[in-house]
Structure 1
Amino acid sequence: MKTTLYIQNLKCAGCESTIINKLSELKNIYNITIKLQYATVTFEHETKEDITTVKNTLSKIGYPPFGEKNTLAKKAKSFASCASGKIKK
């Protein structure tokens, strides 16, 4: 199955790198693509539960899906994740 999620706090290629690296670690998640200009992440997965896992992971690293509360803590995490992604590139 293929799913696209709109996410918050996506700013740059550093963010993109971090998200791809974290989601690639998840079981059953593959073919991950991000479109910065639309703030979307698209991925293929095996089950509907995998979508929940991806949403939870995105939220934990500071990129909550649209519709989820975007707290100051999540915004701060996204800045840290962004910087980390730039360093790892």
Structure 2
Amino acid sequence: MAFSVQVENIKCGGCANTIRKRVTEIDGVNGAEVVVEQGLVNVEADEALRPAVVAALAKAGYPEAGSVQGMASIKAKATSFVSCAIGRMDD
């Protein structure tokens, strides 16, 4: 089983590395593919894990598209810059 999540703030391979790491740390997730250009995270897991995946992505600064506005959006962007930098170091 698999599902996709459209997210905000993906800018590069560093972001993708962080996203893959965070998502695959969730029990029951078998893999994750990130399509940077489309802002898409394809997750190999049961659909029942979608809320946990969406929460992990939001915590890392990559909220589901359209789910945050205003100050929450600004906070998510700032968090994603840090996550991106960490993802680049893990490269």
Normalising by structure 2, report the TM-score: 0.91
The number of residue pairs the alignment matches comes to 88
Task: Spell out the pairing of 1:71-82 with structure 2 (5 A cutoff).
Answer: 71-82=73-84
Aligned residue number for residue 31 of structure 2: 31
Alignment of 1:67 with 2:81, yes or no, is: no
Normalising by structure 1, report the TM-score: 0.93
The sequence identity of aligned pairs, in percent, is: 30
Q: Over aligned residue pairs, what C-alpha RMSD do you find?
A: 1.1
Which of 27-36 and 53-62 deviates more? 27-36
Cα distance between partner residues in 2 of 1:74 and 1:58? 10
Residue type of the alignment partner of 1:24: T
Which of 3-12 and 37-46 deviates more? 37-46
Cα distance between partner residues in 1 of 2:8 and 2:47? 24
Structure 2 portions without partners, runs of 5+: none
Which of 65-74 and 52-61 deviates more? 65-74
Cα distance between partner residues in 2 of 1:85 and 1:14? 4
